[in-house]
Structure 1
Amino acid sequence: MKHLILCLLLAAAWLPLRAEACSCARPGTPVEEKDQHTRVFLGRVQAIEEDPRGEPHRRVRFVVRETFKGTPVRKLTVDTGIGGGDCGYAFRTGQEYVVYAWGKDDALATGICSLTGPATHPRSGLDVLRGDK
């Protein structure tokens, strides 16, 4: 019986473990990040929706306040992960964010590896994007 338990423990030790973690390169300055992203804008979160197909991401609808890169529009939808290792950003309805997004307008995405963040946080680069700094 001891040998069976030992064999089971050894077999379990060789099984691959699934580890999920977000791994990001350190983002650049707001100017560098603006150059590397498709769209950069200041927007207020209007709604957050789970993917209707059950995919592990959220669709975040924004009312655009200011556009720093891309054609100015009134509304945009951006996908992000759900968190827990997929680099998704935890947006909150009603809050304003500076969003650095990549992709085409009908398939924009963002996450925590960019400077995307609350408009009030200096890291988001709002002052720099506006030319105030």
Structure 2
Amino acid sequence: MKRACIMLGVIMGFLLTMSGWWGLDVQACSCVPLGDPIKEADKSSAVFVGQVVKLEDDANQHIATLHVSKRWKGELDPELTVYTALSGAACGFEFEMGKEYLVYATKENGHLTTTICSRTKLLSEAQADLDALNKRMWMMDGTENKPSTDTPTNSIPDSKETEADQSSKEIGTSEWLIVGTALLLVTMTLIVGARQRKGK
């Protein structure tokens, strides 16, 4: 009986530990599948190309100042700030000083914000987005927004949807692993208890 109690204690400790780990994993950033560039532009408050000229942080977020070189949507100043969470776990986007980005931003509490769940990306990886936006969107000054010859020609496939699918599969596998291990431990406990009762 004493041995059975010990086994039950081990099982409970294991389950509590794994449930704590599971809770931390659930709190990580989770993105819904992205739409195509036009759908995401329609949902955004501003869509533009900008070069990072300043980076700073406050207590809650990164603040990137960008010099705008091209715009498709939004009434934008030549320089503007974009806010994002401090960490990737909170869906924060990591801007780098001096680099150019295609930014899809939404307005929250009067500020433009972006996340890793948006289509925001390095300009060098955004050719597919640029092609789609140039065909459909418009410049704020009313002139036709024809594709420029100096835009990057290399195209890197958008992998965010694939990453989200892989994350879902990993979570499902982990959950079944926890359940299977727990069932195995319960079975072992019952076997030990049955043998002890026979011994008495």
Tell whether the structures are fold-level matches, with TM greater than 0.5: yes
Total equivalences in the alignment: 128
More moved, 110-119 vs 75-84: 75-84
Residue 65 of structure 2 corresponds to 61
Q: Which has the higher helix share?
A: 2
Distance 1:35 1:46, change over 3 A: same
Is residue 130 from structure 1 mapped to residue 134 from structure 2 by the alignment?
Answer: yes
Is the 8 Å Cα contact of residues 116 and 124 (structure 1) preserved in structure 2? no
Which sections of structure 1, spanning at least 5 residues, go unmatched?
none
Which sections of structure 2, spanning at least 5 residues, go unmatched?
136-146, 148-200
1:95-121, CA deviations, whole angstroms, 9 ceiling, x for partnerless residues?
000100001584111011111001111
Q: Which has the higher strand share?
A: 1
Cα distance in 2 for partners of 1:45, 1:119 equals: 12
Residue 43 of structure 1 corresponds to 50
Is residue 14 from structure 1 mapped to residue 16 from structure 2 by the alignment?
Answer: yes
Is the 8 Å Cα contact of residues 117 and 124 (structure 1) preserved in structure 2? no
TM-score by length of 1: 0.80
In structure 2, what residue type is equivalent to 1:112? I
In structure 2, what residue type is equivalent to 1:78? V
Is the 8 Å Cα contact of residues 103 and 109 (structure 1) preserved in structure 2? yes
Is residue 78 from structure 1 mapped to residue 49 from structure 2 by the alignment?
Answer: no
In structure 2, what residue type is equivalent to 1:14? L
Is the 8 Å Cα contact of residues 38 and 104 (structure 1) preserved in structure 2? no
In structure 1, what residue type is equivalent to 2:37? P
SS in structure 2 of the partner of residue 35 of structure 1: helix
More moved, 102-111 vs 87-96: 102-111
Paired residue for 1:91, among 91, 95, 114? 95
Cα distance in 1 for partners of 2:118, 2:128 equals: 9
The share of aligned pairs that are identical, in percent, is: 32
SS in structure 2 of the partner of residue 120 of structure 1: helix
Is residue 30 from structure 1 mapped to residue 54 from structure 2 by the alignment?
Answer: no
The structure 1 segments of at least 4 consecutive aligned residues displaced by more than 4 Å after TM superposition are 6-9
Is the 8 Å Cα contact of residues 101 and 123 (structure 2) preserved in structure 1? yes
